[in-house]
């Protein structure tokens, strides 16, 4: 009973904080900061105030992202584009660099312990990175409101995936397909939770690789990173163990997002005043978030992330329609 | 015999990635501090940046008279363009790691992976070259 009361109090506190956060963002976005009006006059706040606000916000996002088990980019783009006055071009570039930085930091560790697999990543990364260039070029060429509406729809789709997609810790793969055999996609990693070596292989590679074309285009177009899509394809479709899928997906972002990020950088969408505070904020938030992760209930946080994305997705849609 | 948990190529990639990423992040913090401290001066004055970020990147380039692509290399005496150095390192790390891993795969005669890695380098280099741009909107 006592536990239930504590749980209820914590949940209420989290919901109140979330509501306050949402209200603050909404007020900020709609009025003082001029975020509801892309292409408008901006705000009267000095540049340094923006740097501080962005840093604080992205620090919080970094914590929430780690606790919710999602990448920084998928939270960053819808929230910052929805509630800050920055044009979507700059937000997408910053989003890609935020996701890229997270992947670059996590990549070495994941590769060393064999969780992320280079052989699995190589062909998928090639397809996704080429497609993300196309996505980035499309995103920069299309009118901002069209991209904003598409972003809103995509974010709501991600919410649906997060709510509905199942996960399989060790999917059953009876036999590798020919393509996977040819590319030598298989491996072994030590599962530290069970202290066992897990051998794995994949199947349905051609379909999986085909889906990475769509994933790459969406990553490049919206600057979201693409862990939300990589993991289900690697895990549920191709049959890689969940931990290998999550780790390889994280590593994949360091390649996929690189190509799209270059397109945005070379198109003048890299504003240091937006990119650097965001990048440092999310990174520091992630570092703070990891120890908190061991003391929180992941399910609650996951629902908070879903609520945030739902809110941000709806905001992106409304903004796209000029509401 | 079970396969290696992490191949030699994978470990090589991980170590190189780690070193270059750390250098990139350290330089990013330094360059940004130099930029916002005003030590070097800015091509686009800091106070004017908020008036540009509500518009598209295309509009920003035109209004601030900035040539897209790698033209920033000739303006490294400005703080805002100096930040491009660490960003370029972070965005270029993967290309360097791939170039290194190609030789590892050649050593183990894994020619399909060599081919994939070469194609990836070409894709990333094309993206980084600045050839692929849009006219903006």
Which of A123, A188, A273 shows the shortest C-beta gap to B5? A188
Average pLDDT over residues A261-271: 93
Q: Is residue A5 part of a domain?
A: no
Which of B3, B54, B68 shows the shortest C-beta gap to A187? B3
Give A47's contacts in chain B (Cβ within 8 Å).
Answer: 46-47, 49-50
Q: Is residue A20 part of a domain?
A: no
- State the average pLDDT for chain A: 81
pLDDT at A299 over 80: no
- Note the pLDDT of residue B81: 94
Q: Is A137 on the interface with B (CB under 8 A)?
A: yes
- State the average pLDDT for chain B: 89
Cα(B50)–Cα(A297) distance, integer angstroms: 40
- Is the Cβ pair B87, A125 closer than 8 Å? no
Q: Is residue A123 part of a domain?
A: yes
Q: Are B123 and A216 in contact (CB under 8 A)?
A: no
Determine how β-strand A186-191 pairs with β-strand A196-201: antiparallel
- Is the Cβ pair B60, A268 closer than 8 Å? yes
Q: Are A135 and A216 in contact (CB under 8 A)?
A: yes
Average pLDDT over residues A144-159: 86
Q: Is residue A44 part of a domain?
A: no
For residue range A171-222, what is the model confidence (pLDDT) as tens digits? Answer: 888 889 999 999 989 888 877 777 788 889 999 999 999 999 999 999 999 8
ipTM over 0.85: yes
Q: How far B10 CA sits from the closest chain A CA (Å)?
A: 6
Cα(A158)–Cα(A164) distance, integer angstroms: 10
Q: Is B58 on the interface with A (CB under 8 A)?
A: yes
pLDDT at B135 over 80: no
- Note the pLDDT of residue A310: 85
pLDDT at A134 over 50: yes
- Please tell me the total count of domains within chain B: 1
Nearest CA in chain B to A244: B5
- Is the Cβ pair A112, B94 closer than 8 Å? no
Q: Is A317 on the interface with B (CB under 8 A)?
A: no
Q: Band of the pLDDT at A34, cuts 50, 70, 90?
A: very low
Least confident range of A133-137, A312-316, B51-55: A312-316
Q: Are A116 and A185 in contact (CB under 8 A)?
A: no
Give B12's contacts in chain A (Cβ within 8 Å).
Answer: none
Task: Determine the structural domain holding residue B74 and report its residue range.
Answer: 8-129
Whole-number CA gyration radius for chain B: 19
Q: Is residue A273 part of a domain?
A: yes
- Three-state DSSP class for A190? strand
pLDDT at A52 over 80: yes
- Note the pLDDT of residue A115: 81
Q: How far B132 CA sits from the closest chain A CA (Å)?
A: 7
Q: Is residue B121 part of a domain?
A: yes
- Please tell me the total count of domains within chain A: 1
Q: Compute the residue count for chain B.
A: 137
pLDDT at A294 over 70: no
Q: Is residue B137 part of a domain?
A: no
pLDDT at A38 over 80: no
What does residue A279 show for φ and ψ, rounded to 5 degrees? -65, -45
Nearest CA in chain A to B123: A130
Q: Are B81 and B43 in contact (CB under 8 A)?
A: yes
Q: Is B115 on the interface with A (CB under 8 A)?
A: no
- The H or E element containing residue A218 is helix A205-222
Q: Is residue B1 part of a domain?
A: no
Task: Tell me the range of A63-67, A106-110, A128-132, A222-226 where mean pLDDT is highest.
Answer: A128-132
- Is the Cβ pair A141, B134 closer than 8 Å? yes
For residue range B73-124, what is the model confidence (pLDDT) as tens digits? Answer: 999 999 999 999 999 999 999 999 999 999 988 998 889 999 999 999 999 9
Task: Determine the structural domain holding residue A55 and report its residue range.
Answer: 49-320
Q: Is residue A292 part of a domain?
A: yes
3-state helix, strand, coil in chain A (%, to 5): 75, 5, 20
Q: What is the pTM of this model?
A: 0.85
Q: Taking the alpha carbons of A240, A241, A242, A247 in that order, is the dihedral positive or negative?
A: negative
pLDDT at A307 over 70: yes
Which is higher by pLDDT, A24 or A302?
A302
Q: Is residue A201 part of a domain?
A: yes
Give B42's contacts in chain A (Cβ within 8 Å).
Answer: none
- A-to-B residue pairs, Cβ atoms closer than 8 angstroms: 222
pLDDT at A136 over 80: yes
């Amino acid at each position: 009973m006592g536990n239930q009361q504590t749980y209820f109090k914590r949940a209420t506190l989290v919901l109140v904080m979330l509501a306050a956060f949402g209200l603050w963002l909404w007020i900020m976005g709609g009025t003082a900061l001029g975020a509801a009006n892309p292409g408008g006059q901006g705000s009267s706040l000095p540049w340094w105030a923006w740097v501080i606000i962005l840093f604080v916000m992205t620090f919080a996002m970094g914590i929430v992202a780690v606790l919710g088990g999602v990448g920084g980019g998928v939270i960053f783009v819808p929230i910052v584009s929805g509630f800050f006055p920055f044009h979507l071009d700059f937000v997408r570039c910053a989003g890609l660099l935020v996701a890229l930085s997270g992947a670059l930091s996590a990549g070495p560790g994941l590769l060393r312990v064999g969780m992320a697999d280079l052989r699995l990543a190589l062909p998928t990364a090639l397809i996704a990175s080429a497609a993300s260039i196309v996505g980035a070029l499309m995103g920069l060429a299309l009118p901002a409101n069209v991209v904003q509406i598409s972003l809103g729809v995509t974010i709501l789709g991600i919410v649906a995936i997060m709510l509905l997609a199942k996960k399989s810790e060790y999917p059953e793969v009876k036999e590798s397909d020919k393509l996977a055999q040819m590319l030598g996609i298989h491996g072994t990693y030590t599962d530290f939770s069970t202290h066992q070596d897990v051998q794995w292989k994949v199947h349905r590679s051609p379909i999986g690789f085909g889906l990475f074309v769509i994933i790459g285009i969406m990553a490049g177009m919206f600057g979201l990173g693409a862990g939300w899509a990589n993991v289900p394809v690697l895990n549920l479709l191709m049959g890689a163990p969940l931990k290998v899928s999550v780790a390889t997906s994280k590593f994949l972002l360091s390649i996929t997002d690189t190509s799209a990020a270059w397109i945005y950088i070379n198109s003048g969408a890299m504003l240091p005043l937006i990119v650097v505070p965001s990048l440092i904020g999310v990174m520091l938030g992630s570092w703070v978030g990891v120890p908190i992760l061991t003391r929180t209930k992941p399910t609650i946080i996951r629902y908070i992330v879903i609520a945030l994305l739902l809110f941000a997705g709806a905001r992106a849609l409304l903004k796209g329609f000029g509401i | 015999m079970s396969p290696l948990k992490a191949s030699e190529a994978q470990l090589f990639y991980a170590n190189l990635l780690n070193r270059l990423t750390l250098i990139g992040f350290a330089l990013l913090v330094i360059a940004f501090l130099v930029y916002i401290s005003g030590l070097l001066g800015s091509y686009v004055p800091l106070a004017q940046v908020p008036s540009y970020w509500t518009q598209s990147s295309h509009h920003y380039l035109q209004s601030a008279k900035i040539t897209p692509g790698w033209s920033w290399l000739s303006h490294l005496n400005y703080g805002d363009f100096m930040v491009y150095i660490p960003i370029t390192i972070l965005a270029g790390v993967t290309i360097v790691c791939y170039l290194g891993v190609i030789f590892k795969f050649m050593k183990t005669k894994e020619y399909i992976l060599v081919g994939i890695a070469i194609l990836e380098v070409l894709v990333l280099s094309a993206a980084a070259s600045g050839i692929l741009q849009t006219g903006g909107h």
